Amino acid sequence: MGRDYIRKEQKKAEIEKLLREEMRSTGIPETVLEDALRKLMDSAIRISPPEEESRFMEMIVMNSSARGGGRSTKPGNIRLDLGLLLETIAGGTLTLESINTWWTFPLALLMVLRSLSRNLSVQLTESDAVTIMAMWQAGINNGLIAKLADIKAHADLHAKKYGRNVLSPADILHSITNLVAIGSVTPIKGVADKWKVHEEIRFIYR
């Protein structure tokens, strides 16, 4: 069984290119862009290579379909560690010199998630990054299940701390709709105002 490290590096380069474009679109200065990209890749994105499995040809061929012979490939994995990223940001250890835009990191990761999930029609903004952070903080002591009132309270704290616009409940619900669409949060069945925040999202590639 061999690992396809060449394909892994190709996929890593694809994601780095996507991240670079998305982070540039959020207004990160070119002077800190590569540093921001490296920190985000190191803290929140894990890529494992596909594995190639050898299989022996069957001695008795039942038909001409070639079943059971040749090689098969187990797909590689891309893991987006959203929970670790948010925890690192909240702890103040993931920062960029000269700019105070912490929300850039989760927004860029959400944009990568949007691309990998192929929901490109979802338009993501700073409000979505603030909302996912507020949801994570609201649910951190409750199995990452957050309710609207607590999400609003944490979003208000962010607005006050960073001098940003206050998000209304309607703004937050709009962002939650976007976050549900790209798979970073899931509604709790039977409850109107609670959502589960996913710490880790995985995709496969070949």
- Per-residue pLDDT of 152-192, as tens digits, reads 999 999 999 888 899 999 999 999 999 999 999 999 999 98
Residue that the structure tokens 């190191």 belong to: 42
The CATH number given to whatever domain includes residue 28 is 1.10.10.10
Is residue 41 within a helix (H) or strand (E), and if so which, with residue range? helix 30-44
Its domain, for residue 87, covers 2-205
The structural domain count of the chain equals 1
Q: E strands of the chain, at which residues?
A: 2-3, 45-48, 51-54, 71-74, 76-81, 145-147, 185-187, 194-197, 200-205
d(CA 27, CA 8) in angstroms, rounded, equals 29
d(CA 166, CA 94) in angstroms, rounded, equals 24
- Per-residue pLDDT of 42-62, as tens digits, reads 989 999 999 865 544 444 343
Residues 6+ apart with CB under 8 A from 36: 23, 28, 96, 104, 105, 108
- Per-residue pLDDT of 8-46, as tens digits, reads 999 999 999 999 998 888 888 888 889 889 989 998 999
Query: Under a CB-based contact definition with an 8 Å cutoff, are residues 111 and 124 in contact?
Result: yes
Q: What percent of the chain has pLDDT over 90?
A: 58
